[in-house]
A and B are shown apart, each in its own frame.
Chain A
Amino acid sequence: GQNIDQPTEMTATEGAIVQINCTYQTSGFNGLFWYQQHAGEAPTFLSYNVLDGLEEKGRFSSFLSRSKGYSYLLLKELQMKDSASYLCAVRGGDSNYQLIWGAGTKLIIKP
């Protein structure tokens, strides 16, 4: 079956660093995406990994290990506006074009 696991909720302090983990088990793999979703809004793209390693983009970095079925999203210098849900999605499954989504990690930033 297809399964993506993320922690339900995390809390961090403004200015700190937080790592959100994602593990996946899918019948195929053609890339992993991270999206940010503020309450009541649509998801917005953060990062894409298809090869093992770290992709850095400003305050956000994403890491992938295909052999371990594991990814993480690293957020540095946290700001209050980073309070949102972070969704991990894998392109895989029965169709190469299908995105399989985790339930999301709700990140709460405290002053």
Chain B
Amino acid sequence: DAGVTQSPTHLIKTRGQQVTLRCSPISGHKSVSWYQQVLGQGPQFIFQYYEKEERGRGNFPDRFSARQFPNYSSELNVNALLLGDSALYLCASSWTGGEYNEQFFGPGTRLTVL
């Protein structure tokens, strides 16, 4: 059974550009969460989606947006990129968005903003 997949693996953009990152959850999982991880730090929560509805949002500016599709895959969009957006972006899927919610992480997308 395939795990969580993310694309692209690596991405280089320049300041001011826009980027779209994609995530496919484990088959049967209905919840997707997005995290930003800067080198040497723990992941920072960006969004959680469950059944195509936004269930939670972290402390990120409106330049960050996301959505979940009927097949439960998800996209994270970041507009007007800043140098500080350079990070590993992790997608995690889980069966539900409930309290006990073991999250399975994808390999991440390494975004570099020049």
Contact = CB atoms under 8 A, between A and B. Distances in A.
Interface string A65-107: 0000000000000000000000101010001111111111000
A91 B99 contact: yes
A95 B55 contact: yes
Contacts, number: 59
Interface residues of A, number: 24
Interface string B7-39: 000000000000000000000000001010000
> How extensive is the interface on chain B, given as a class?
20 to 34
B58 A44 contact: no
Nearest to A4: B42
Contacts of B55: 95, 97
Nearest to A102: B42
Nearest to B33: A99
Contacts of A50: 99-100
Shortest beta-carbon contacts, A-B, top 5: A101-B42, A42-B105, A95-B56, A97-B56, A30-B99
A48 B103 contact: no
Given A91-B99, A99-B33, A101-B42, A43 B90 contact: yes
A31 B100 contact: yes
Contacts of A45: 102-104
Contacts of A97: 48, 50, 55-56, 97, 101
A96 B56 CA distance: 8
A98 B90 contact: no
B42 A31 contact: no
